[in-house]
Chain A
Amino acid sequence: MADSLTKSATEPKLATYEFIDARNETFSLRIDGALPDQQFWYAHRSLDLGAAFNAAGMFVSEDAQGKGLGTALVGDLVDTCRTIKADKITLHADRIGRYAWAMFEFVPDAGSWAQMKRDALVFLLSHEAVLGQERTNDFVRRINQGGPEAIRIIAAIEDQVPSRQLPHRFEPKLVPFARAFFLEHTGNWYGSLNLHDDETMKMVDSYRQAKKDSSR
């Protein structure tokens, strides 16, 4: 199981089962991996009643980030879920994952969406000068009327807005709206990826393929 969940990581790794409950078909597993130059990663996975895989935690050390390992590890998880016919993957999106998992087609649960929606409406209105009145009104209307999948609308807004967190000397650094929103404005969220939704899975596959092509 550990090999299947992390097949993209070929460096030495160590798997630790934190618990196995055969009666309820649940387990929790942590896999630690070494990378060259003292970099490392870990992935924490648990299976809940055979129906949902929980990507409980994942970390790739900073100098090894941005090279596609995180994406590849979630890709391995998707493949494993397909093999064992799991229904969905759930996760807690925190730190950079708040943005990354939105771009990986994860959709927030109802509680997270209620908060995210409120945050998004405030953030949109505070950037009306950048987005323009008509577009701002359009976004507000769609996000208000949409369900949790309207996270995609927020994640797709690329207009440049000033960052409040990135260090700068004179003028604030400009970053895409979606990044500033997920990384600086809204909080952590719980979400899931529905493995039975064909549209979503088509999108995940196409994304993984594009990522593979660009890293060649």
Chain B
Amino acid sequence: MTDRLPTESLKYPSHDWGTLAKNPTIEIGATGEAWISADRAAWLHSGGTEESFERAFPAYAVQQREASHPR
């Protein structure tokens, strides 16, 4: 489909990092519980286990534990 569009529309006057160049820590895209569950689904789908997921993404494991047992 894109080959039928005028090519100048596909050129953007910005560089790769855009607004991230000013602040590389700015959040882009999904975060939180929904993202962790999508990531876990991809992990398990590729043959991984719950245990290896926790080892691969220790920060997520902590976040989820805290969410399920709030202090």
A103-B30, A206-B34 known; A90 and B43 CB under 8 Å?
no
Main secondary structure of the interface of B (DSSP, over half): helix
Total B residues in contact with A, Cβ cutoff 8 Å: 45
Q: Does A96 lie within 8 Å of B56, measured CB to CB?
A: no
Within 1-19 of B, Cβ neighbours of A (below 8 Å) are at: 1-2, 4-6, 9-10, 12-19
User: Which residues from chain A contact B26 at a C-beta distance below 8 Å?
Assistant: 66
Q: Which of A54, A62, A99 contacts B28 (CB 8 A)?
A: A99
Q: Does B46 lie within 8 Å of A145, measured CB to CB?
A: yes
Within 30-70 of A, Cβ neighbours of B (below 8 Å) are at: 30, 44, 46, 48, 54, 56-57, 59, 62, 65-66
| B-binding residues in A (CB < 8 A) | 18-19, 28, 30, 44, 46, 48, 54, 56-57, 59, 62, 65-66, 90, 92, 94-96, 98-100, 102-105, 134-135, 138-139, 141-143, 145-147, 149-153, 155-158, 163, 165-167, 173, 175, 179, 183-184, 199-200, 202-203, 206-207, 210
| A-binding residues in B (CB < 8 A) | 1-2, 4-6, 9-10, 12-21, 23-24, 26, 28-39, 41-43, 45-48, 52, 55-57, 59-60
